[in-house]
A = this chain, B = another copy of it.
Amino acid sequence: MKLTATVFLATIATTTIAIATALPASAQTSATAAPGPAAPVIEDFKPSSVNQPGQQYPQVNSQGYARFRVVAPDAKAVKVSLGLGGRGGTVLAKDADGAWTGTSEGPLDEGFHYYHLTVDGGTFNDPGTLNFYGSTRWESSIEIPAKDADFYALKNVPHGRVEQVLFASPSTGTQRRAFVYTPPGYDKAGSTRYPVLYLQHGWGEDETAWANQGHANLIMDNLIATGKARPFIIVMTYGMTNDIKPGSPGGLASFNIKPFQTVLVDELIPYVDSQYRTLADQRHRAMAGLSMGGFETKLIVPANLDKFAYMGLLSGGSVSVEDVDKTPGYRDKLKLTFVSFGSRELEGGRSGPPGGPPVDPRANAEAIKKAGIKSAFYVSPNTAHEFLTWRRSLLQFAPMLFRD
């Protein structure tokens, strides 16, 4: 099921018209004075789905506008880091009752967005929202409901588990954490063994991201319930075991993969294969990652073709014919090279590691396909370097895995 931009726009338009007609004109007046957006702001705001229990703000309307409300009666200035590009976020204004409120200047992209508040010069989370680990800290976030949100919804279907395991890592001298998704029925399946996908988060995130922000477990539950994906195990661990510092020269292009590769390949994989009923061979093992996790994947998989048969790069680089040609065994051993991006990441026609040469992932994808490499390329419509891109990418990627 390839999702197209056309379907989304039609759905948004329909919803907008239906609700606007039902509302009194007075509910739409505030937007006419607002700069920027042409369409009036529709007053059908509801609490965001990732608010803390019982919290009414932030809210989202059917057009994708976000409205914030923060109580800080003695503050001088309150700002939200989220808003339209180039305007530095949403500046809140103080109400008569001492609460700071404001609405984003335009609709936000569908999906999950991190943000934080600036209150009198200090950085705080919005007390209304749940927190998610990103940018090396637990951040506030808001969810703009996506038209295709059903694929990651919590439904009344058999559910797999998300299991926290702690494993010994001699190379780092630590007990490390991983989360392991086991598919529905795993515990009752007797002697059945399962393939494994190692799935990495991005820079500044951690091993909680794919389940909390990504809903990887619900995406898999729903795919398995409808027979669209083969049941497999997913393992998620902390990938910042490298030398990257924010803003360091060279950035992602220059980091040393060795410490993380040692944890993943020499410590975690043997642990998982000893503790879970895995199919512990190359053709039943995959690795994928988003952003920095994609860069890690692209460094680890081609260097370990005896261990991995599938590779997924989600907003984390692409693969050129040169990449393939310089890697002995790539053509024969890798059953799938999956590359994906959000459409907004490709605006301007280029992408690539910060500081590196420009890369056109679409041209790369077409070239390796033409060269006979088993590959797939996916673009998430109207999303940027954010989690809806990666949820959709997993939806595309998972059904392609372990089919041989």
The interface residues of chain B lying within 8 Å CB-to-CB of A256 are: none
A125 to B52, CA, bound (A): 13
Q: How near does chain B come to A24, taking the closest CB pair, in angstroms? A: 33
Contacts A137-B127, A187-B275, A275-B187 given; does A73 touch B122 at CB 8 Å: yes
In the complex formed, the residue of B with least CB distance to A175 is B154
Q: Tell me which residues from 352 to 378 in chain A have a Cβ below 8 Å from any Cβ of chain B.
A: none
Indicate if the CB atoms of A121 and B187 lie closer than 8 Å. no
Contact residues in B for A74 (Cβ distance below 8 Å)? 76-77, 120-121
Give chain B residues whose Cβ lies under 8 Å from the Cβ of A123. Answer: 71, 127
Per-residue 0/1 for A189-231: is the Cβ within 8 Å of any B Cβ (1 yes, 0 no)? 0000000000000000000000100000100000000000000
Say whether B122 contacts A125, CB under 8 Å.
Answer: no
Could you tell me if B127 and A154 are in contact, using CB atoms closer than 8 angstroms? no
What residues of chain B lie closer than 8 Å to A217, measured between beta carbons?
164
**Residue A151 interfacial (CB < 8 Å):** no
The contact of A163 among B70, B98, B122, B163, by CB within 8 Å, is B163
Complex Cα spacing A175 to B276, Å: 26
Within 8 Å by CB of A119, from B124, B131, B137, B161, lies B124
For the complex, give the distance between the alpha carbons of A154 and B173 in Å. Answer: 13
Rounded to whole Å, the gap between the CB of A53 and the closest CB of chain B is: 6
Supposing A124-B124, A136-B54, A159-B166 touch, asked if A276 and B187 sit within 8 A by C-beta, the answer is yes
Q: Is the CB of A122 within 8 A of B154?
A: no
Q: How far is the CB of A79 from chain B (nearest CB, A)?
A: 12
What are the residues of chain B within 8 A of A122 when measuring CB–CB? 70-73, 75, 119, 127
A45 at interface, CB cutoff 8 A: no
CB of A180, distance to nearest CB on chain B (Å)? 8
What CA separation (Å) do A163 and B70 show in the bound complex? 35
Tell me which of B54, B73, B159 contacts A120 (CB under 8 A): B73
Q: Could you say which residues of chain B place their CB within 8 Å of the CB of A130?
A: 138
The answer on a CB contact under 8 Å between B165 and A159 is yes
Say yes or no: is A168 at the interface (Cβ < 8 Å to chain B): yes
From the candidates B76, B162, B165, B175, name the one contacting A164 in the complex (CB within 8 A).
B162
Q: Please give, as numbers and ranges, the residues of chain B lying within 8 Å of A275 by CB-CB distance.
A: 187-188
Q: For the complex, is A156 an interface residue (Cβ under 8 Å from B)?
A: yes
CB distance from A184 to the nearest CB of B (A): 10
A72-B122, A120-B74, A131-B138 in contact; A163/B166 too (CB < 8 A)?
no
CA gap between A71 and B180 in the complex, in Å: 37
Contact B161 A164 (CB under 8 A): yes
Is A159 within 8 A of B136, CB to CB? no
Give the contacts of A286-335 with B (CB-CB under 8 A).
none
**Docked complex: A250-304 residues within 8 A CB-CB of B:** 275-277
B-facing mask of A26-48, CB < 8 A → 1, else 0?
A: 00000000000000000000000
Q: Are B163 and A52 in contact (CB under 8 A)?
A: no
Query: Complex Cα distance A356/B179, Å?
Result: 44
Interface contacts beyond A72-B119, A72-B122, A154-B175: sample of 17 additional A-B pairs, CB < 8 Å, sorted by A: A52-B138, A71-B121, A72-B124, A73-B121, A74-B76, A74-B120, A120-B120, A124-B125, A127-B137, A154-B166, A156-B168, A159-B165, A161-B163, A161-B180, A163-B164, A187-B275, A188-B275
A interface with B by C-beta (< 8 Å) = 52-54, 70-77, 98, 117, 119-125, 127, 130-131, 136-138, 154-156, 159, 161-168, 175, 180, 187-188, 211, 217, 275-277
CB-CB nearest 6 A-B residue pairs: A72-B122, A74-B120, A159-B166, A75-B120, A73-B121, A74-B121
A-B contact pairs, 11 of them (CB 8 A): A54-B136, A72-B120, A119-B120, A125-B127, A130-B138, A156-B168, A159-B175, A161-B163, A161-B180, A187-B276, A188-B275
